[in-house]
Structure 1
């Protein structure tokens, strides 16, 4: 079975879990919904970290210092994504955020769309890493480099951090 085929059911289950968790945005249970999103992002970063460590190990065995160093840089960025997800606006159980539960219907829709886009970006990053890990098994057009993966992960991280602006009301809803 191809890695991309394996990723699809996981993504579908993640989206299902998020869809049910997003009921919490409507019912004022913001913290639980937010935890579900952040948990899924952390789970995905852990999965990517495992793949990258395997790539890094192979690069070390083959004496490919450049790839090994690039993997290390991506791992540092992934750790940052995981930390951001852990310590987001509502990242602590005692956190009380002024914007929590005050999102309008339009605001709820925006944050749901934003979170789904973030998760899709993370899935794309996973697919790229899988393509590097198992060349030929994952269909991706063009050449893939670790720099491309690093850029996509950084974009996904920045996109995730933008969600706080929706919660804070800094972005027009």
Structure 2
């Protein structure tokens, strides 16, 4: 299992798509944000118990793929800000053949990407950029500020691991 971690706007989803395009093995991609269901405005997410139950259910739904034996790229699963829940998720992921890809980019690149995307909170993303990887053991680190993701050279180490026989969950 490969977990891609990074602030909003660093290129996690674009990177996941590029990795899926260039791997020779049968990986699947799960974008955690897209796996999260919409909730009615009456759901009280300020209640810690509701937050915890929601987060646990989302984690279980995302982990269903590697649990079923699929080599899985998970885009954006680690809770933020870094907390005990964040560490609990890392502990749960540790039972898999887990690699973490920490993605970063310059503040300028993140501002530009979020503005171009037309959604997202730039200030929140810049806050994430400062500390989202605190306490995270990254196996690979990639700065996407100026790379062309259709050039596999920056992705070579990740793709080598993904294409190796030991990567099966």
TM-score by length of 1: 0.26
Structure showing the higher helix proportion among its residues: 1
Find the structure with the greater CA-based Rg. 1
Structure showing the higher strand proportion among its residues: 2
TM-score by length of 2: 0.27
